[in-house]
Amino acid sequence: MLDFKKIIAEKLHEEVPELEVDQFLSLIEIPPDSKMGDYAFPTFSLAKIKRKSPQMIAEEIKESLGDLESFEKIEVVGSYLNFFVDRKALAELMLGQVKEEKEEFGRTNYGENRPVVVEYSSPNIAKPFHIGHIRTTVIGDSLKRIYEFLGYDVTSINHLGDYGTQFGMMIEAYKLWGNREVIESNPIPELVKLYVRINQEAEEKPELLDNSREWFRKLEEKDEEAVALWKWFREVSLDEFQRVYKLLDIEFDSYRGESYYSDLMPAVVQEMEDKGVLVESDGAKIVDLEEYKLPPSIIVKRDGSTIYLTRDITAAKFRKDTYDFYKNIYVVGSQQNLHFQQLVAILDKMGYEWSKDCIHVPFGMVSLEDGTLSTRRGKVLYLEDVLNRAISQVDEILSKREEELGVVMENRKELAEQVGIGAVKFQELFNQRIKDYVFDWEKTLSFEGETGPYVQYTHARINSLLAKGNFQLDNKVNPALLTNEEEIRLLQLLYGFADIIVDAHLKNEPYFITRYIVEAAKTFNKFYNATTILTEEEELTNTRLLLCYGVKNMIKRGLDLLGIQAPEKM
Ligand code: ARG
């Protein structure tokens, strides 16, 4: 397709062959204000080559470029060359693409089927699935969707925390005080109670810890009773997790958790021995990471048991062998930065050049307005409760609307779910990952401003407009009729959509897309309020409707890449 930026870069390269087209491409900017053009090229970097002032260079290049096809004009402002895309060329290009690509608008094959692993959510068994987990779960799911849309071959993994010495404690506690029926009636909170109790009582009775260690040893040796109990803890926990994933409309290709790697670990430890990566320290086996300016990591504890990091090394190798990944992405909070730095360093030290393809995608913390995470169910706010509350609050809003408007929404229940869950996800994906944020009910569920419901509502509004105008894809249109400010802005947004998806995946930042579709929704609403779309002139109406259709597909796709549904009617 017509690539305006590339046209500029190629022309500039003809003018100044000392720089390659790619170099020009990376120097060309998108000005913050469209009055400064659609693209700008700062000439500073040419001063050395040309031995002239940047302003003079800008003037000279403008002179010799003359009229550039597909561009309306070129202006010099200070040391910048500002390029203005020809509006008609833009409209022709975008309307053509909207018509051709339809619901697939924006799709590219950037990924060329390269395999990518995205790991996210990964909660710990027998521990609450709480509001803190929303971040990894929702960011990870969005990244999975983005990579898929770009044509990568994605495998999503839930690296369940289902192994470790704490399961010895769980078994000991269950044997002492547990009751099967009680646990089955309310698994995670009851298991957490047992875990809390054994930790407390062990302070006075250290023999509980000895017994726990013994149980873990038995588990590692595949003792029947130990394995059966562990399996049961895992099952009942997973049932609860899956209920929440269903609510969130999130799926995984694999639930291979930490336990899966326990059998594969001895071979990896052996390999580390053979490669001379391990050293003895105080009876434990560690890796010295001084050359990476990192603290040493324990791989095998003094009592012979392995740890979280050992399982991650094993899992990374397993993923490379199984998926031959181009990228192996870990969506895990920034508290684990050091852990992942150590993991990558160790893989590098083991001689794996693919260690650089293991990428930690960290994020900040979520807190509640009152600064805590407390709730009626104990010390944590369960994610499931948050989601259900969002749904029921939206349901209330909708039922008020029904009353006010005197209508009945036949799909109200479904709608409340789509909007409630969408709102929570949207708020989650609105900011740069690394920023901490405060979960704010009012803001999240508002139908005004930069929220999920607002964007969903805009999408539904376009949809009903298309129906009202009896939009048909093959109606006759005339791109030259799109001339007002909002129309041009919408065309520009359509033009930039495919690129923003690429950028979002290069930085692993779904919020690029969130912001983009908010802007599209705002611009559309401005357009809707300022312009009569369904006019008396058929060709003009059809042209505007085709633009609306493109914007609708873009917003719908954007929402989908965030994991948010786009109801047709609201
Ligand atoms: N289960 C861990 C936790 O809840 C997160 C696992 C992250 N993934 C990994 N490969 N280490 O903290």
* CATH classification at residue 35: 3.30.1360.70
d(CA 475, CA 525): 24
- Per-residue model confidence (pLDDT) at position 370: 64
For residue 315, being part of any structural domain is answered with: no
Burial class (CB within 10 angstroms; exposed 0-12, middle 13-18, buried 19+) of 305: middle
Q: Return the number of other C-beta atoms located less than 10 Å from residue 366's C-beta.
A: 20
Contacts of 134 (CB under 8 A, 6+ apart): 366, 383, 386, 424, 428
Residue located via tokens 């109990």? 229
| Residue 4 and residue 84 in contact, taking contact as beta carbons nearer than 8 Å | no
Dihedral sign of CA atoms 435, 438, 442, 444 in order? positive
CB of 124 closer than 6 angstroms to any ligand 1 atom: yes
Tokens of 530: 């300022």
For residue 42, being part of any structural domain is answered with: yes
Spell out the per-residue pLDDT of the chain, length 570, in tens: 678 999 999 999 999 999 999 999 999 998 988 789 999 999 999 998 999 999 999 999 999 999 998 999 999 999 999 999 999 999 999 999 999 999 999 999 999 999 999 999 999 998 889 888 999 999 999 999 999 999 999 999 999 999 988 899 999 999 999 999 999 999 999 999 999 999 999 999 999 999 999 999 999 899 999 999 999 999 999 999 999 999 999 999 999 999 999 889 999 999 999 999 999 999 999 999 999 999 999 999 998 888 899 999 999 999 999 999 999 999 999 999 999 999 999 999 999 999 999 999 999 988 877 655 544 445 678 899 999 999 999 999 999 999 999 999 889 999 999 999 999 999 999 999 999 988 888 888 888 889 999 999 999 999 999 999 999 999 999 999 999 999 999 999 999 999 999 999 999 999 999 999 999 999 999 999 999 999 999 999 999 999 999 999 999 999 999 999 999 998
d(CA 137, CA 384): 13
The residue segments making up the domain with residue 40 are: 4-85
Strands 278-281 and 284-287 turn out to be antiparallel
d(CA 243, CA 255): 15
d(CA 272, CA 400): 64
Q: What ranges in 382-481 are assigned the alpha helix state H?
A: 383-405, 412-428, 441-445, 452-468
The Å distance, Cα 251 to ligand 1 centre, comes to 17
Candidate from 237, 325, 329, 332 with most ligand 1 atoms within 8 A of CB, to mutate: 332
Q: Return the number of other C-beta atoms located less than 10 Å from residue 388's C-beta.
A: 16
Q: Please name which of 64, 95, 80, 68 lies closest in space to residue 30, comparing C-alpha atoms.
A: 80
Atom of ligand 1 nearest to the CA of 312: 10
- Per-residue model confidence (pLDDT) at position 165: 85
- Per-residue model confidence (pLDDT) at position 380: 75
pTM: 0.93
Atom of ligand 1 nearest to the CA of 127: 4
Atom of ligand 1 nearest to the CA of 160: 1
CB of 122 closer than 6 angstroms to any ligand 1 atom: yes
Which residues are marked as active site? 127, 130, 133
- Per-residue model confidence (pLDDT) at position 375: 40
CB of 332 closer than 6 angstroms to any ligand 1 atom: yes
CB of 312 closer than 6 angstroms to any ligand 1 atom: yes
For residue 67, being part of any structural domain is answered with: yes
Q: For residue 207, which amino acid is it?
A: E
d(CA 170, CA 219): 12
d(CA 448, CA 140): 27
Q: Please name which of 35, 185, 28 lies closest in space to residue 488, comparing C-alpha atoms.
A: 35
For residue 18, being part of any structural domain is answered with: yes
- Per-residue model confidence (pLDDT) at position 358: 98
Q: CA 236 → CA 81, 123, 256, 257, 388, distances in Å?
A: 64, 13, 16, 15, 20
Helix (H, G, I), strand (E, B) or coil at 128: coil
CB of 486 closer than 6 angstroms to any ligand 1 atom: no
What's the domain count of the chain? 1
Q: Within 13 Å of residue 565, how many CA atoms lie on the same side as its CB?
A: 16
The Å distance, Cα 312 to ligand 1 centre, comes to 9
- Per-residue model confidence (pLDDT) at position 366: 86
For residue 342, being part of any structural domain is answered with: no
Query: Which residue puts its alpha carbon closest to atom 6 of ligand 1?
Result: 122
Q: CA 451 → CA 2, 132, 393, 445, 569, distances in Å?
A: 33, 21, 15, 7, 17
- Per-residue model confidence (pLDDT) at position 377: 44
Helix (H, G, I), strand (E, B) or coil at 299: strand
Dihedral sign of CA atoms 442, 447, 451, 452 in order? positive
Write down how long the chain is: 570
For residue 207, being part of any structural domain is answered with: no
For residue 39, being part of any structural domain is answered with: yes
d(CA 29, CA 429): 26
Query: Which residue puts its alpha carbon closest to atom 5 of ligand 1?
Result: 122
For residue 21, being part of any structural domain is answered with: yes
Q: Residue 140 forms beta bridges with which residues?
A: none
CB of 159 closer than 6 angstroms to any ligand 1 atom: yes
The Å distance, Cα 248 to ligand 1 centre, comes to 20
CB of 330 closer than 6 angstroms to any ligand 1 atom: yes
CB of 535 closer than 6 angstroms to any ligand 1 atom: no
